[in-house]
Structure 1
């Protein structure tokens, strides 16, 4: 009898290694290699198999589109920085916001222009808020908290024009294929959005703590050498590289490209949906959204180049800024490639069959809350929502397929579990980016956020249990 249990060995390797080392990429890479040697047990066969699995994943059309979208988008953000678009927005906002309510309102309204990715949002709105700490009656930790509750939790719910939607759709697609389930991954993502209970819970808590509650608990300021520049900077200028003194301040260079990307994405998505026979809201469901987003982004990037050249920015500087920004994403490209490869090798080892044979005893009603709690623990210890989603989504879809649990609820629970770690973990990029911009000590700041994170997680777990009984 085939040893299907071998298919879980890569996950048994990945999870503890990621937790112990606090590094997702090496853990996933080791899991891929281990799985590949189990599939091809020869001294060089395992490495060859690992390479082949990654290449097979990379040549798939949707995966290439995701990588291109992320690479080009971060390159465009690099040009926005170089041409002073981000700095201009920061300067204008810092000069016009006078009160705490105005500051909080700006944080929320700025979602309209910075929803594309959490890191982009933080480096845009964070320096503005840093300049206002001494100007309005609000603390750095409260500002960071509100910014983060309007970051990943909201962006994970937006189905178009974000750096998340391509990746989220991709791992759903891979998981469906591994379990031989026919379905539209993007449509499943849309249906899962109402079940991302953690995002909704933490957003509501963010509104309460931001506007109606004042916490006087102290959060330590950083003494880490790499943050000394930020700590010594006065006001908003030079507190982050995107607002360096040598850069111009032209907010139009941020707004025009962003508006182009959003408008063209919606337009091309609609056109694609019409071509595929959609009408009304079904137009956006039937569309090839990822392709529309990529084409819209490419057109917007070309137009942005011309827009900046007209302002007499040097082409060489623009190209350098584009590739410097885009190349910062190579770690994410590597992460995606290994996640896709790992998913393929575990599928070849019979992961879906193993789950079918060994977890059918779990009541369907308990599958979503158990997955959420497991994912929340993993994401807290590794500090990565994307890493958690890549590890847990294949397991979640397989368990849903076996137990009969609702697939949208399961997918929503997996995405919610990753959002918990990104918000609450002292290891997450969001926590450390926000702490760096606002001159806070990351561990102390993360501890400050943990209470509300646990409240939202508790509400979410109960919600999954109740919804599962209803389904």
Structure 2
């Protein structure tokens, strides 16, 4: 099993190196200019496609997103066929972009808010509050339709922020949905449908 996993990782690395070399050839031959859409053409779709494909293959969403961002930075950084220098420049540029985004007051506020809400939810979960709420909802929601209705109602109650809505409603209703054999995808859809739309039309948000 470990051998197959190592072989799979090695194969992915080898394919990645070959793909970066081919990408370097294509980009180097592209006309230089300030408009990257004109310069790269259809290759501008490559970073999101790489991120989505790797997310399905590896089941690692965050890592796949980072690799997708790296591919985009690599495309912008390529000037010649030197893959190593282009990869280093892309990595440094990616780090600079991440730090600058996190230093932005608005983005930093969102990150801190999510951390605080996540910490409170984890504290409530460890103390048994989330389980008590889930058990109470499970008593009243004896069918999948009722469970989805309770999820929608709970989503309407948490109207002040869409991030808080997802962080609160999801963990509370997940055990109820699992017990009634409602798919996680359906739960994610219901939570998403009552998160940003509710926060958007609420008077206080």
TM range (shorter): 0.5 to 0.7
Written as runs of structure 1 = structure 2, the 5 A alignment for 1:161-310 is 252-253=35-36, 262-267=45-50, 269-270=52-53, 272=54, 284=56, 287-304=59-76
Query: Which of residues 359, 365, 380 in structure 1 aligns to 2:137?
Result: 359
Residue 350, structure 1, aligned to residue 133, structure 2:
no
Q: Is the 8 A contact 2:155 2:165 kept in 1?
A: yes
Q: 1:50-449, aligned counterparts within 5 Å? A: 252-253=35-36, 262-267=45-50, 269-270=52-53, 272=54, 284=56, 287-304=59-76, 324-328=100-104, 329-355=107-133, 357-362=135-140, 363-364=142-143, 365-379=145-159, 382=160, 384-402=161-179, 404=180, 406-407=182-183, 408-427=185-204
- CA–CA distance in 2 between the matches of 1:291 and 1:419? 26
Kindly tell me: are residues 264 and 347 of structure 1, through their superposed partners in 2, closer, same or farther at Cα, counting changes over 3 Å? Answer: same
Give the TM-score taking structure 2 as reference length.
0.57
Q: TM-score, normalised by structure 1?
A: 0.28
> Contact 2:147/2:177 (CA < 8 Å) preserved in 1?
yes
Deviations 1:353-386 (A, max 9, x none): 424543332132212122213312422xx1x211
Size of the aligned set, in residue pairs, is 153
Deviations 1:14-51 (A, max 9, x none): xxxxxxxxxxxxxxxxxxxxxxxxxxxxxxxxxxxxxx
How far apart are the structure 2 equivalents of 1:333 and 1:268? 22
Of Structure 1 and Structure 2, which has the larger fraction of its residues in helix?
2
Partner of 2:20: none
**Matched-pair contact (CA < 8 Å) for 1:396–1:411:** no
Contact 2:137 2:150 (8 Å CA) reproduced: no
3-state secondary structure, aligned to 2:139: coil
Cα RMSD for the two superposed structures: 3.6
Which secondary structure does the structure 1 equivalent of 2:158 belong to? helix
Larger relative contact order (CA 8 Å, sep ≥ 6):
1
